[in-house]
Amino acid sequence: MKLLRVGPAGAERPALLDRGGVLRDLSNLVPDIDGSLLADAAALARVAEAEAAGRLPELEPVERVGPPLARIGKIVCIGLNYHDHATETGAQPPAEPVVFMKAPDTVVGPDDTVLVPRGSRKTDWEVELAVVIGRELRYAASHEEALAAVAGYAIAHDVSEREFQIERGGQWDKGKNCETFNPLGPWLVTADEIADPQALPLKLWVNGELKQDGSTADQIFPVAEVVRYLSQFMTLYPGDVINTGTPAGVALGQPEPKPYLRAGDVVELAIEGLGRQRQELKQA
């Protein structure tokens, strides 16, 4: 299923994009799309059944698509998880996953405005496959157990400020947590619809020019290993999100002068089967 949330920011209602591409209202069936719903197999089955039976009311065209997940618990991110991206940044491919966190309040809708932070000169783009957790997971013993905890997938834009991230001391947090720095969506696609999470083309354009053109096949640590690995260090809960890293083609990896983002730029992202995002940049 393709689950989404539509409406004004903070007042989104749960919806579903059906197999015919028609937007359907879920608000009579489930309170929202969040960790509690993803952990509730019976509720998800009722949604699937109502869709199959054609019982879901059609929604009028909507002005805004919000993030497809409410009340996100935590966002765990994997750095340098594609061979070509590690190379372009001058880093060695890591022996173990590089892990950092992003605050859930950085999340906005897939087509919402992204703000260039005040004082920023190096705002950069990163298209990523986001994994959404649907089952509590501690110390997973196998890749099978790890994948069984995955409820679905979405596109994440891990917007990053490279000077704040790399040149201003400390860890990466300052360059990763600016407001609006994690567009998510448009859909949360349930895991049963993604036959192989390691065979997804990812693309990103800036002002219509293709900048990133990768595949999750090139991930150093595949989704199953990322989820298994993280569960050795932290408990994963329904409603947690994992940004699994970005392929080559970010501004940081380009020759000088690097083409960092400015107000007025338009970034578009796509992952096969997961839809598209489009953001206009504005000054904070």
192 three-class SS: helix
Region label for 207, one of left (φ > 0), alpha (ψ between -120 and 50) or beta (otherwise): left
In terms of CB distance, is 51 or 126 closer to Zn ion?
126
Which residue spans within 147-258 are E strands per DSSP?
A: 150-157, 160-161, 182-183, 188-190, 201-206, 209-215, 241-243
Residue 33 CA from chain centroid, whole number: 15
Confirm if 122 and 258 have CB atoms less than 8 A apart. Answer: yes
Q: Choose between 100 and 187: whose C-beta lies nearer to Zn ion.
A: 100
Minimum Å distance from CB 89 to Zn ion?
Answer: 11
Binding mask 74-113 for Zn ion (x = CB under 5 A): ----------------------------------------
Stretch binding Zn ion (CB under 5 A), from 21-29, 119-127, 198-206, 223-231: 119-127
Contact between 161 and Zn ion (CB under 5 A)?
no
Tell me the pairing of strands 241-243 and 75-79: parallel
- Which CB sits closer to Zn ion, 98 or 148? 98
Between 212 and 246, CB nearer to Zn ion: 246
Considering the complex, state which of residue 2 and residue 176 has its C-beta at the smaller distance from Zn ion: 176
Residue whose beta carbon is closest to Zn ion: 158
With CA atoms as reference, report the closest residue to 183 among 264, 251, 110: 110
Look up residue 11 and give its DSSP letter.
-
- Rounded least distance, CB 242 to Zn ion, Å: 11
The distance of closest approach from Cβ of residue 225 to Zn ion in the complex, given in angstroms and rounded to an integer, is: 17
Binds Zn ion (CB under 5 A): choice among 112, 158, 240, 265: 158
Q: Which of 126, 161, 240, 268 touches Zn ion (CB under 5 A)?
A: 126
- Footprint of Zn ion on residues 5-24 (CB under 5 A)? none
For residue 274, which of 216, 206, 210 has the smallest C-alpha distance? Answer: 216
Q: Compute the least distance from the CB of residue 128 to Zn ion, in Å.
A: 5
For residue 265, what are the contacts with CB-CB under 8 A and spacing of at least 6? 206, 207, 280, 281
Separation CA 114–CA 159 (nearest Å): 9
- Smallest gap, in angstroms, from Cβ of residue 78 to Zn ion? 7
Residues forming contacts to Zn ion in the complex (CB under 5 A) are 126, 158, 246
